[in-house]
Amino acid sequence: MKRHLITAAGGLLGIFLTAALLQNGASVIQGRQNTAAPEFTLETPDLSDVPDLGEAETDSGEAVPIDPAESSTAGPEGKSVRDIAPEQFALSEEVTAKPLERIEARQALSDPVAKPEPIPSVLRHPVALSAGLIQFDGDRLLQLDGLIAQTAGRTCEANGKTWPCGAVARTAFRNFLRARALLCDVPKNGWEGTLTTTCTVDSTDPAAWLAENGWAEAKAGSPLENKVEAAKRSRLGFFGDDPRDLSATPVLLDETAVPGGLQTDADTLEPDL
C-alpha cells in the first residue's frame, strides 16, 4: 500500500513540474515579443492639411481653380499620361467630317461548300396535295418553283357566295397530272422534306399550266406573273366564279347494285371536288 502511494505522489510531482516549466517558458516568449514589437500608433491626418485637388496655389498663397483641359500629367520617366475623361473617347470632328469609305470585303478563310447540282430525275406516282404541291413516296414533298404555296382548304368568294376553291384547284391539278410521271430537277442523292424545283409533264410545265388557268399565284419576280395577271383579267380559277355545276341531280346508289351487298357510308363515298 505504501509503495502505491509513493508511485502516485511521484506522478503528481512530475505533472506539477511540467506545468511549471511550460508556464515559465510562455512568460519568457511573451516578454521577448513585447520587447521586439513596440506599440505603434496610427496617426490620422487633419483634413484641413489636405490641399484641394481642383485648386492650385500661387506664389502669394491664393488658391486658383485648375482647368482639367489645360492640366497635364506626367507619368514615370517624364512620359505624358493620356486623359481618360469620357469625352476623350469620341471620334474627333476631323474624322467624323470625312465620308465613309467602303473597303473590299475580306476573303473567306476557307472555300465555300458547293451545293450539289440538281439532275433531271423521273418521279413516278405523284399525289397532288394542293395546287402546286406534290407528294412522292409518302414523305417527300415537291413545291413547284415560282408559285406561292396553296392549301386545299382555301376558300374564295364570288357573287356573295363562298366556295372551296382550294379543293377545286387540287381536283383540277390531279386531273391534269393523271398520275403521270414528272421529270424534275432534284439533288443527286434525293431529298427529304419539301423541295422547291421545276418539273415537266410530257414537255408541259405544270406550274405554267396552273398559272394560265388561274389555279396559282406567282411569287414576286417570277416569270409566271404575266400568266397569273392574264388569268385574273379573264376571271379564271381562284379569281372567278365557282366552276362546279351544282344543278345536276345526284345519282342515288341502289344497295342491290353494290357487289356483294356492301353497305356504303356517306363519308366513304365523299367525292373529290
The mean per-residue pLDDT over the stretch 14-22 comes to: 82
Residue 2 in grid coordinates: 505504501
The model's pTM is: 0.51
Domain ranges of the chain: 119-244
pLDDT at 141 (0 to 100): 94
* Highest averaged pLDDT of the listed ranges 11-20, 28-37, 170-179: 170-179
Contact 239, 214 (CB under 8 A): yes
pLDDT band, very low/low/confident/very high, at 68 (cuts 50, 70, 90) = low
169 pLDDT higher than 90: yes
pLDDT band, very low/low/confident/very high, at 25 (cuts 50, 70, 90) = confident
269 pLDDT higher than 50: no
> What Rg do the C-alpha atoms of the chain give, in angstroms?
49
Residues 6+ apart with CB under 8 A from 108: none
Write out pLDDT tens, residues 104-128. Answer: 887 777 776 666 688 999 999 999 9
82 pLDDT higher than 50: yes
Give the DSSP per-residue string, 62-75. Answer: -EEEPPTTT---B-
Contact 234, 226 (CB under 8 A): no
pLDDT at 97 (0 to 100): 73
Contact 126, 148 (CB under 8 A): no
Give the DSSP per-residue string, 9-61. Answer: HHHHHHHHHHHHHHHHHHHHHHHHHHHHS----PPPPPGGGSPPTTEEE-TTS
- Per DSSP, what are the bridge partners of residue 133? 130, 143
74 pLDDT higher than 50: yes
SS3 assignment, position 105 = coil
Which has more confidence, 71 or 78? Answer: 78
The mean per-residue pLDDT over the stretch 31-58 comes to: 59
The class of domain 119-244 in CATH terms is mainly beta
